[in-house]
Amino acid sequence: MVTITERQLSTTVLVIGTGGAGLRAAIELAESGVDVLAVGKRPKEDAHTALAAGGINAALATMDPEDSWQQHAADTLKESYLLADPRTVEIVTQGAARGIDDLERFGMAFAREADGRISQRFFGAHTFRRTAFAGDYTGLEIQRTLIRRADQLSIPVLDGVYITRLLTDDGAVFGAYGFDLTHGTRYLIHADAVILAAGGHTRIWRRTSSRRDENTGDSFRLAVEAGARLRDPELVQFHPSGILEPENAAGTLVSEAARGEGGVLRNALGERFMTRYDPERMELSTRDRVALAAYTEIKEGRGTPHGGVWLDVSHLSRQTIMERLPRVYQTLLDLQMLDITRDPIEIAPTAHYSMGGVWVRPEDHSTDVRGLYAIGEASSGLHGANRLGGNSLIELLVFGRLTGQAAAAYSRGLAAQTRSATAVADARAEIDDLLASDGPENVRALQRAIRDTMTEHAGVVRDEKGLLAGLAELAAIEERMREVGVHPDIAGFQDLAHAFDLKSAALAARATLEAALERRETRGCHNRSDHPELDPALRVNMVWSPTTGITRESIPAVPDEIAPLMREVSTVGKLAE
């Protein structure tokens, strides 16, 4: 038997996840002189943040002087279908300008007007132009900027380390346990506080804009097993346009810019079907409405050969496509050898963003576990039942800073450092047991089974019969998970990582199905065909844990200074989101 070594590390604050949220928190800690370690299972240069294209929101009023943080808050709350937490929304919108200032201080190159002002453009459902950007690669530029600043501060970053368990004792976190994906080296990391920034759970659907082996629900499982809860896991944003082929890239996004520039949606019969669903806005309608329209066309038998619809930009001039849609053009050429200047793109709705997540307090994103914080797509509270485009990136900046400060303060207030030999032994044993398992079940096949179940029963449209069927299928999958075989090989320990991904996916799927069953209404992204109306009595958050199931949590009233500003936003000529 090969002996696996174990490295023991110690830091004041451990950050799990090296995307925008994790790096911003680590930077705040390092700039404050606090010892910090950031750990990620994939290279930091390839974090999910880098995929965000459109822009980042802040009421800077550089283009529209009448804009304000209050109007930004009102737009966010309205678009959330009143499920967002008003205090969380206030904190983000008030802190947004500071977030942009921080990025500028770190050296980010925003698009600018001729006189030097930061350019801002419209995103759907925003009253004013408040989306700052860098070409169509804003997220990538933010990630590069944060990596550069982390390097300047000499922040230690461990790439390729998979965290399997948070270490807790008597309701407080004291670190984490994991292993190196290449060599299998174990890591025992002691920390006073832990910031969880490991993304959402959209990979548990068959088509998703996430890459393989990311957003598998890691944050959800780590937090819940440590004693935290989840809020609104059923609220998942489905993007209308994910590609279908090749299978290993299914769900990869075709930017909404394709519709914004004049792309047309047609079914297999050649009908421009948006005339049935939103005849005024047509392809410029909201994400949830376009996704529902495409889903309905496919479900009713008017779908394309691979089960999608057509998005056609071939009527646009080649120059327009090359200047305004260069990434879309290159992506389809690379993946399908498809020339979008001549041929339509086959697309279908794709799981895009987890709007629910770990339950956190709005002020500092602390959880039910002392010393544990969650930020970014791992957390909840800002988006409710529909996310405003551009809000997710500013959320990373605002709460990365605030949570870094909170974790540092928590550490300073500790009278002693918690340790538990039992918790560490349990974490070691969990890995040992999986490595010793040699059952007949294939981990990858079970992951696919969960994705098939979620796609069939908890996709764009849900109903009670389907959700109950999904729970029954999931129970059978969970039983089969007892018989998995795990086989590390010469290429590394990815198979062991897949086994933990499977655990995370199963937990996230159960939470999603149970919460979707409880939300007997249609609201924003959550479509219940058996409950097609919005129910005012369900203006509540669904809070889930494996021990208590679903509890309904009331949402504070919208502040008086915000409520009058919540009005319909004109979408004439704008792509709505």
pLDDT for res 1: 44
Can you tell me the distance from the alpha carbon of 251 to that of 291, in angstroms, rounded to the nearest whole number?
Answer: 13
What is the H or E stretch that residue 87 is in?
helix 86-105
541, 265 in Cβ contact below 8 A? no
- Residue 23: partners with Cβ closer than 8 Å, 6 or more residues away: 15, 38, 44, 143, 146, 147, 149, 150, 400
Can you tell me the distance from the alpha carbon of 545 to that of 224, in angstroms, rounded to the nearest whole number?
Answer: 7
pLDDT for res 362: 98
∠ CA 460-271-209, rounded to 5°: 35
Q: Dihedral, CA atoms, 443, 248, 208, 195, nearest 10 degrees?
A: 60
333, 194 in Cβ contact below 8 A? no
Active-site residue list: 287
pLDDT for res 492: 85
Please name the residue that has the structure tokens 């998703």.
208
Domains of the chain with bracketed CATH: 16-192+210-235+358-376+391-413 (3.50.50.60), 237-350 (3.90.700.10), 437-533 (1.20.58.100)
pLDDT for res 569: 63
Can you tell me the distance from the alpha carbon of 536 to that of 17, in angstroms, rounded to the nearest whole number?
Answer: 37
pTM over the 0.75 mark: yes
pLDDT for res 490: 77
477, 449 in Cβ contact below 8 A? yes
Q: CA separation (Å) from 453 to 230, 356, 436, 513, 576?
A: 21, 20, 28, 10, 30
Can you tell me the distance from the alpha carbon of 29 to that of 78, in angstroms, rounded to the nearest whole number?
Answer: 34
Mean pLDDT by 10 residues, the chain (577 residues): 79 97 98 98 85 86 95 94 97 98 96 92 81 84 96 97 98 98 96 98 94 93 98 96 90 86 95 94 85 95 96 95 88 96 96 97 98 98 91 96 98 96 98 94 97 96 97 98 91 92 98 98 95 97 97 97 84 56
Token pair listed for 423? 């918790």
